[in-house]
Amino acid sequence: MPDLGSALWSHASLSLPGLPRALVRVAIPSLLAAALVVVGPWILDTYTLNILVRALFVAIAALTVDVLWGYSGTLTFGQSAFFGIGAYALAIGFTQFGFGPWQALMALGAAVGLAAVVAGFVGWLSFYPGSTPLYASVVSLVLPIVLVQLLYSGGTFTGSSSGLVGFESFDLSLENWFRLAGGAVLATLVIAWIALSSDAGRVLGAMRDNDERCTYLGIDTARVRIALSVVMGVVAALAGFGYVGFSGVAAPENAGFVFGTQLVVMVALGGRGSLIGAVVGALVIEVASAYLSSSLPFVWELIVGVAFVLVIVVLPGGLFGSLRDASAAMHPRLRVLLGRTLSPVSLATLERTAPAPDRDAVVVEVDSVSRHFGSLSVLSGVSFTARQGELVSIVGPNGAGKTTLIRCLADGRERSEGAVRICGQSIGRLSPDRIVGLGLGRKFQAASVFETLSVADCLRVARTRSERPSLIAASPVLALPAAARAVVESSGLAERLDQEARFLSHGLKQALELAMVLALEPQVLLLDEPTAGLTRAERQGFAAVLTDLVARERLCVLIIEHDLDFVRRISSRIILLHQGRVALDGPVAEIVDDPLIREIYTGSTRPKQAGVTP
Partner 1 sequence: MTAALELVNLTSGYGSSTVIHGVSLQVGPGEIVALVGKNGMGKSSLLKTILSFLPAWDGAVRLDGRDVTRLAPFRKRALGLAYAPQEQALFQDLSVRDNLRLGLSDDRGFEARLADINNWFPVITARLYQRAGTLSGGEQKMLIVARGLIAEPRLFLLDEVTEGLQPSVVDRLAEVLAAVRRDRGTAMLVVEQHLSFVLGLADRFAVFKRGEVVDTGSVDVGSAARIDEHMRL
Partner 2 sequence: MITLVLDIVTTAAILFIVSAGLLVVFGVMKIINFAHASFITIGAYTALVASRFGLPPVLAPAVAFLVGGLIGAAAERIVVRQLYGRPLDAILATWGLSIVIGQLVTLGFGREVQFVPAPVSGTLAIFSEDYSSYRLLLVVAAFVIAGLFTMLLNGTRLGLSTRAVIMNENLAQGLGIDSTRVRLITFGIGCGLAAIAGALITPLASVDPNMGLSWLIGAFMLVMISGGSLPTLGLSCLVLGGLQVLASTFISPILGGLTIAVLAAVALRLRPEGFARA
Q: Which residues bind partner 1 (CB under 8 A)?
A: 397-399, 446, 504-506, 509, 529, 532-533, 562-564, 568, 579, 592-593, 597-598, 601-604, 607-614
Which of the listed partners (partner 2, partner 1, none) does 509 bind, with a CB threshold of 5 to 8 Å by partner kind? partner 1
> Which of 91-99, 147-155, 331-339, 415-423 is the region at the interface with partner 2 (rule: CB under 8 A)?
147-155
Q: Residue 397 or 492: which CB sits closer to partner 1?
A: 397
For residue 197, what are the contacts with CB-CB under 8 A and spacing of at least 6?
20, 21, 22, 340, 342, 474
Q: What is the DSSP string of 272-286?
A: TT-SHHHHHHHHHHH
Strand pairing class (477-480; 524-528): unpaired
Eight-state DSSP code of residue 355 = P
Residue 417, H or E segment: strand 417-422
Can you tell me whether residue 44 is helix, strand or coil?
A: coil
Q: Residue 377 or 547: which CB sits closer to partner 1?
A: 377
Q: What is the DSSP string of 453-508?
A: SBHHHHHHHHTTTTSPPPSS---SEEEE-HHHHHHHHHHTGGGGTTSBGGGS-HHH
Candidates 125, 337, 347, 419; binder of partner 2 (CB under 8 A) is 125
Q: Are 22 and 226 in contact (CB under 8 A)?
A: no
Interaction between residue 130 and partner 2 (CB under 8 A):
yes
Restricting to residues 268-297, which ones interact with partner 2 according to CB under 8 A? 268
Interaction between residue 477 and partner 2 (CB under 8 A):
no
Can you tell me whether residue 525 is helix, strand or coil?
A: strand
Q: Residue 261 or 572: which CB sits closer to partner 2?
A: 261
Query: What is the C-alpha radius of gyration for the chain, rounded to an integer number of angstroms?
Result: 29
Q: Residue 161 or 346: which CB sits closer to partner 2?
A: 161
Query: At 76, which amino acid appears?
Result: T
Candidates 51, 62, 65, 139; binder of partner 2 (CB under 8 A) is 139
Q: How far is the CB of 276 from partner 2 (least distance, A)?
A: 21
Name which of 394, 382, 357 is nearest 551 in CA terms: 357
- Across-strand partners of 558? 392, 526
Q: Are 423 and 438 in contact (CB under 8 A)?
A: yes
Q: How far is the CB of 397 from partner 1 (least distance, A)?
A: 6
> Which of 131-139, 317-325, 421-429, 569-577 is the region at the interface with partner 2 (rule: CB under 8 A)?
131-139
Eight-state DSSP code of residue 498 = T
Q: Are 431 and 129 in contact (CB under 8 A)?
A: yes
- Quickly list H helices, 98-220: 101-126, 133-152, 155-158, 174-197, 199-209, 211-215
The 10 Å Cβ neighbour count of residue 180 is 19
Candidates 306, 326, 329, 446; binder of partner 2 (CB under 8 A) is 306
Interaction between residue 153 and partner 2 (CB under 8 A):
yes
Q: Residue 140 or 341: which CB sits closer to partner 2?
A: 140
Candidates 133, 355, 397, 492; binder of partner 2 (CB under 8 A) is 133
The contact pattern for partner 2, residues 33-72, with x = CB under 8 A and - = no contact, is: ----------------------------------------
Q: Are 450 and 205 in contact (CB under 8 A)?
A: yes
Q: How far is the CB of 382 from partner 1 (least distance, A)?
A: 18
Interaction between residue 302 and partner 2 (CB under 8 A):
yes
Name which of 7, 213, 254, 207 is nearest 111 in CA terms: 254
Q: Residue 175 or 529: which CB sits closer to partner 1?
A: 529
Task: Determine the straight-line distance between the first and last CA of the chain, rounded to whole angstroms.
Answer: 84
Q: Residue 128 or 291: which CB sits closer to partner 2?
A: 128
Which of the listed partners (partner 2, partner 1, none) does 610 bind, with a CB threshold of 5 to 8 Å by partner kind? partner 1
Which of the listed partners (partner 1, partner 2, none) does 579 bind, with a CB threshold of 5 to 8 Å by partner kind? partner 1
Strand pairing class (417-422; 362-373): antiparallel
Q: Are 255 and 147 in contact (CB under 8 A)?
A: yes
Which of the listed partners (partner 2, partner 1, none) does 227 bind, with a CB threshold of 5 to 8 Å by partner kind? none
Query: At 133, which amino acid appears?
Result: P
Interaction between residue 305 and partner 2 (CB under 8 A):
yes
What distances in angstroms separate CA 354 from CA 168, 350, 479, one per listed residue? 69, 12, 17
Q: Are 204 and 475 in contact (CB under 8 A)?
A: no
Rounded to whole angstroms, the Cα distance separating 156 from 160 reads: 6
The contact pattern for partner 2, residues 73-112, with x = CB under 8 A and - = no contact, is: --x-------------------------------------
Which of the listed partners (partner 1, partner 2, none) does 611 bind, with a CB threshold of 5 to 8 Å by partner kind? partner 1
Q: Residue 455 or 504: which CB sits closer to partner 1?
A: 504
Q: Residue 27 or 310: which CB sits closer to partner 2?
A: 310
The binding site for partner 2 (CB under 8 A) comprises: 75, 125, 128, 130-135, 137-139, 141-142, 145-146, 149, 152-153, 257, 261, 264-265, 268, 298-299, 301-302, 304-306, 308-309, 312-313, 316
